[in-house]
Amino acid sequence: MIIRRKTKKLKILLISSILITTIMSCNNEKVIDAKDISVSGTMEAELTAPPNVPKPIGDRKAKKLLVNMEILEQEGTMTDGTTYMYWTFGGTVPGSFIRTRIGDEVEFTLSNHPDNKLPHNIDLHAVTGPGGGATSSFVAPGHEKTFSFKTLNPGLYVYHCATAPVGMHIANGMYGLILVEPEGGLPKVDKEYYIMQGDFYTKGVNGEPGLQAFDMKKAVDENADYVVFNGKVGALTGDNAITANVGETVRLYVGNGGPNLTSSFHVIGEIFDNVHIEGGSLLNKNVQTTSIPAGGAAIVDFKVDVPGTLILVDHAIFRAFNKGALGMLKVKGNEEKQLYSGVMQEGIYNPEGATLQEMPDDGKETVVVQTGEKSLAEKIASGKSLYNKTCFACHQANGEGIPNAFPPLANSDYLNADVKRAISIIVNGKSGEIEVNGKTYNSVMTKQTLTDTEVADVLTYVYNTWGNNKTNVKVSTVQEVKSQH
Amino acid sequence: MPIISRISFCILLLCTSYANCQPRMEEIKGGYYIPLYGRDSLKVQIPDFNMDVYPVTNQEFVLFTIQNPKWRRTNLIRLFADKSYLINWETDSTIGDKQSLKSPVTNISWFAANAYCECQGKRLPTVDEWEYVAMANQTQADARTISTFNEYILSWYEKPKTFNNEIGSTFKNYWNVYDLHGLVWEWTSDFNSVLISGESRKDVDNDSNLFCGSAAVGATDLMNYAAFMRYAIRGSLKAKFTLKNLGFRCVKNIENK
């Protein structure tokens, strides 16, 4: 025990010296042992739901910080039409962001909602102590536990539930981030966001509708159905995208809850100016992709120089395009033609959604047995869900497309002119020049492996939305087009 | 302190009469089995005993509080239950309007459950007894290796508010006993004898307790995960705790067979 304590002291000394050489070298402040930082006053911690983070600590003195966190087991949306029973810290996945500074004395109260079925606890990687607090915070439903710790090491740390079976608690969403800022705080930036990757294992395959149960076998095999940012598909896309203006600096606090997969975190169209590797004090510069282990984190920052949509991905790329690990940072402002000419490439590296894709060909599909035709309303409802899974990444949420890259589906003369051509493009794919609403597009649309009914549904939705000609596309028409090849 | 404990002992023993219509029990044929924490060398012997077919219902407990005023919410000594004891009941002996008389009684402390069973001339089951009966699915006494059975148990953890369901709404198992899985957790007499510290990874190395967590953690079969969660919830309890998802049933020894 004595030996252990000595090693701990040594570790703290070592960390202090690293502190001196790295973080503090710029402002030449005298560093004192974090254990000796005295606290003055008490304050309640601001907790935020992702993708937001609390206000920076700035030059605030160390305080006694009260953190109150509630555990909720609740059903939430995994993707359109699919729900999941999430176990959460504070009602969100990832859990609420906790922001502290070095030397704070955190008094942590963990409450387990009475409706919950299971006991839970919390292991904060920022804690120096047995189980990271897990031993002291093990709490039955309808009860609460309080423990306290002093933040001794600056950095970005994961917290998670560590109750048996640990893997299942994490797989159901019980993780989040706690930031310990160094003395004086991190350098100022214009925008800060909170992003956390996690892998999910469901009874049904990706996209299967309804409430999906946790699948233990798949979790053990590390065969994820969903790999997502912030707990669900689309948590950071479309209207939920994070934003910045040209010229601003953006800092992302990125964690990986796992339980299994390491993240190859990458922002398409951006280079990280600084990366706090593994969330620690070591800075790397000019990084394209940073590796974030399960149960680890990284702080990345960069300046956004040109307008457009930056795509956040796990660059283990099938996870991004087929399992959901995809987010967006929308940058507004004036074009900087010198920095970026504005011509977009073909659609190879653009999000395609979860549906399996194939390159265009003249494949001779066998005809599928005709099923009963659904009502218009049913087709539109189902089509909308399909659209949001399969089409929206390129054609965008309101069918507006992306200028010069992906043609619009809203008020589209090309679409309204010929239903069978539209069906053929979905079924067989399309490449080469086309003219839509007076503008020329030259892109690739991959062949979509949708069923005949799904093609009819999604097209009916598109035709009955955004000012198109309200065609009700029949399954038989889809089959007719297919059989023509 | 000694006086208080003596008083409490008396209170536990003093109970006026019991219900005339005793709930149905089924005979459980005893045997040997290896519990979650066990090893081959550590088989547990279960003698024959009788078990309630259903968990104790709101209706049965209402009757109990009428006959035994000291177990009414307003009379109860705080030592014996936390403040959420029967919290959803309308009054001392009427249930809430969203509750059903045929639902299992929950928000019950161990003390209350224990006293109830004693008044019936019964007792709470031990963890080993409870787990022994709970190994059974509809057709087999030990269904622990059957994946659909384990999936059924696990799926319960994802269904909210099952405490509002009525008794008998799950399946009848091999022993003709209902609702061991899928309705509520149940108290056992020695719920805290298998210790989980709350830090399950620590338990892996912890041979001093009856807990061989490493086997369960390393296992790929689903059974261990389901059982693991039951041991986790038991480990988180204290005898005065009352939970919305925690009820109980009684068992009885078979005498002079």
Residue ranges per structural domain of chain A: 18-188, 193-349, 357-483
Which residues have CB under 8 Å from A21's CB, separation 6+? none
Whether the pLDDT of residue A363 is over 60: the answer is: no
Domain ranges of chain B: 2-32+49-193+238-253
What's the whole-number mean pLDDT along residues A162-173? 89
Extended strands (E) in A125-262 = 143-150, 155-160, 175-181, 191-200, 210-212, 226-229, 242-245, 249-258
Extended strands (E) in chain B = 25-28, 31-33, 44-46, 49-52, 185-186, 246-247, 251-253
* Unique residue bearing structure tokens 């093609």: A455
Q: In this structure, what DSSP letter does residue B94 have?
A: S
CB contact under 8 A, B201 and A73: no
- CATH for the stretch A18-188: 2.60.40.420
* pLDDT tens sequence across B168-193: 999 999 999 999 999 999 999 988 77
How far is Cα A252 from Cα A275, in angstroms, rounded to an integer?
10
Smallest CA-to-CA distance from A214 within A228, A198, A202 is with A202
Smallest CA-to-CA distance from A186 within A106, A257, A249 is with A249
Residue type, A65: L
Chain A contact present for B191, CB below 8 A:
no
* pLDDT tens sequence across A302-333: 999 999 999 999 999 999 988 999 999 999 98
Contact yes or no for A183/A32 (Cβ under 8 A): no
Buried b (16+ CB within 10 A) or exposed e, B149-188: bbbbbbbbbbeeebbbbebeebbebbbebbbbbbbbbbbb
Structure-token pair, residue A115: 């409706």
How far is Cα A147 from Cα A42, in angstroms, rounded to an integer?
15
Could you tell me if residue A341 is left (phi over 0), alpha (psi between -120 and 50 degrees) or otherwise beta?
alpha
Structure-token pair, residue A162: 């560590």
Length of chain B as a residue count = 257
Q: What is the pLDDT of residue A338?
A: 74
* Unique residue bearing structure tokens 């390393």: B218
**CA of A80, closest CA in chain B: separation in Å?**
20
How far is Cα A344 from Cα A332, in angstroms, rounded to an integer?
17
Contact yes or no for A329/A305 (Cβ under 8 A): no
Q: Which residues of chain B have pLDDT under 70?
A: 1-22, 37-41, 194-224, 256-257
Packing angle of the helix pair B58-67, B110-119 (nearest 10 deg):
80
Among the partner-chain residues A142, A166, A217, the one whose CB lies closest to the CB of B200 is: A166
Coil, helix or strand at residue A357: strand
Chain B contact present for A220, CB below 8 A:
yes
How far is Cα A456 from Cα A434, in angstroms, rounded to an integer?
23
* pLDDT tens sequence across A89-132: 999 999 999 999 999 999 999 999 999 999 999 999 999 887 78
* pLDDT tens sequence across A122-154: 999 999 887 788 878 889 999 999 999 999 999
Per-residue confidence band for A15, with pLDDT thresholds at 50, 70 and 90: low
How far is Cα B189 from Cα B126, in angstroms, rounded to an integer?
5
Chain A partners within 8 Å of B220 (Cβ): 217, 220
Chain A contact present for B213, CB below 8 A:
yes
Homologous superfamily (CATH) of A193-349 is Cupredoxins -  blue copper proteins (2.60.40.420)
Packing angle of the helix pair A419-428, A475-483 (nearest 10 deg):
70
Structure-token pair, residue B229: 């969660």
Residue of A nearest to B246 (CA): A117
* pLDDT tens sequence across A378-414: 899 989 988 888 888 788 888 888 877 788 999 999 9
- Among B158, B164, B197, B231, which would you mutate to test the A interface (most chain A Cβ atoms within 10 Å of its Cβ)? B158
Per-residue confidence band for A18, with pLDDT thresholds at 50, 70 and 90: low
Coil, helix or strand at residue B167: coil
Per-residue confidence band for A485, with pLDDT thresholds at 50, 70 and 90: low
Q: What is the pLDDT of residue B216?
A: 42
Chain B partners within 8 Å of A114 (Cβ): 84, 243-244
**CA of B150, closest CA in chain A: separation in Å?**
10
- Residue A290 pairs in a beta bridge with A265
Contact yes or no for B213/A152 (Cβ under 8 A): no
* pLDDT tens sequence across A332-343: 988 877 777 665
Residue of B nearest to A133 (CA): B199
Please report how many Cα atoms fall inside a 13 Å half-sphere around the Cα of residue A219, on the Cβ side: 27
Q: What is the pLDDT of residue B209?
A: 32
Among the partner-chain residues B156, B160, B213, the one whose CB lies closest to the CB of A164 is: B213
Sign of CA dihedral B77, B81, B87, B91: negative
Q: Which class would CATH give B2-32+49-193+238-253?
A: alpha beta
**CA of A317, closest CA in chain B: separation in Å?**
28
Residue type, A170: I
Q: What is the pLDDT of residue A44?
A: 96
Q: What is the pLDDT of residue A350?
A: 43
Smallest CA-to-CA distance from B186 within B106, B79, B121, B74 is with B106
Give the H/E segment covering residue B233. Answer: helix B222-235
Smallest CA-to-CA distance from A412 within A458, A367, A372, A463 is with A463
Contact yes or no for B154/B189 (Cβ under 8 A): no
Residue with more model confidence, B36 or A297 = A297
Packing angle of the helix pair A475-483, A452-463 (nearest 10 deg):
120
Q: Which ipTM value was assigned to this complex?
A: 0.77
Judging by beta carbons within 10 Å of its beta carbon (0-12, 13-18, 19+), is residue B73 exposed, middle or buried?
middle
Please report how many Cα atoms fall inside a 13 Å half-sphere around the Cα of residue A267, on the Cβ side: 27
CB contact under 8 A, B198 and A137: yes
CB contact under 8 A, A162 and B200: yes
Chain B partners within 8 Å of A214 (Cβ): 154, 158
Sign of CA dihedral A349, A352, A353, A358: negative
Chain A partners within 8 Å of B156 (Cβ): 117
Contact yes or no for A235/A50 (Cβ under 8 A): yes
Give the H/E segment covering residue A311. Answer: strand A308-314
* pLDDT tens sequence across A53-101: 999 999 999 999 999 999 999 999 999 889 999 999 999 999 999 999 9
Q: In this structure, what DSSP letter does residue A17 have?
A: H
* Unique residue bearing structure tokens 């219509």: B21
Q: What are phi and psi of A8, to 5 degrees?
A: -60, -45
Contact yes or no for B79/B59 (Cβ under 8 A): no
Smallest CA-to-CA distance from A154 within A279, A7, A61, A28 is with A279
- Among B159, B199, B243, which would you mutate to test the A interface (most chain A Cβ atoms within 10 Å of its Cβ)? B199
**CA of A133, closest CA in chain B: separation in Å?**
9
Q: What is the pLDDT of residue B44?
A: 85
Q: What is the pLDDT of residue B151?
A: 83
Chain A partners within 8 Å of B205 (Cβ): none
Among the partner-chain residues B158, B228, B236, the one whose CB lies closest to the CB of A165 is: B228
Per-residue confidence band for A16, with pLDDT thresholds at 50, 70 and 90: low
Chain B partners within 8 Å of A164 (Cβ): 196, 200, 203, 213, 216-217, 228-229, 231-232
Residue type, A482: K
Q: What is the pLDDT of residue A349?
A: 46
Q: Between 1.10.760.10, 1.10.10.60, 3.40.1530.20, 3.40.640.10, what CATH number should domain A357-483 receive?
A: 1.10.760.10
How far is Cα A360 from Cα A306, in angstroms, rounded to an integer?
33
Which residues have CB under 8 Å from A151's CB, separation 6+? A34, A100, A101, A102, A103, A104, A106, A126, A180
SS3 content of chain A, % helix, strand, coil (to 5): 25, 35, 45
